[in-house]
Amino acid sequence: MLAVAERTHVCPICGTTGLPAMSRYPAYVCHGCAARARSADGRPLRFTNQGAWGGFLAAYADTDEPYPGGGRCWIDGIACIADEARFGGIVVQVSAGADGSSPPIQ
């Protein structure tokens, strides 16, 4: 069921090449960039699955408080959106909204 992905994806944040291409996530960022996700006020965020069955949880990485912004985050000042990946885990993509005010949810 899993097709072997071609390693043609380029991280839109840092430009890392050779990442597996995923047609469902054409603008996903690499793990290194996803780890630098910040809230609007610059606090580090952590996105995790709710449990083995999936689900999406967003929290401040520094205090473990729930993050009210959902998947909205910023990496190097670029608006991004994090969500539960279809194949499990978390995927972070550059948001379509360039100004970062209202990235599309879903």
Contacts of 38 (CB under 8 A, 6+ apart): 44, 45, 73, 74, 75
Instruction: Please report whether residue 13 would count as binding Zn ion according to CB under 5 A.
Output: yes
Please say which residue, 28 or 50, places its beta carbon nearer to Zn ion: 28
* Interface pick for Zn ion out of 33, 73, 75, 79 (rule CB under 5 A): 33
Q: Which of 9, 30, 67, 84 binds Zn ion (CB under 5 A)?
A: 30
Q: Is 82 an interacting residue with respect to Zn ion (CB under 5 A)?
A: no
Give every CB contact of residue 11 below 8 A, 6+ residues apart in sequence.
17, 19, 29, 30, 32, 33
- Residue 98 binding Zn ion, by CB under 5 A: no
Shortest distance (Å) from residue 17 CB to Zn ion? 10
d(CA 102, CA 52): 30
Q: Do 44 and 60 form a contact (C-beta atoms < 8 A)? A: yes
CB of residue 63 to Zn ion, shortest distance in Å: 26
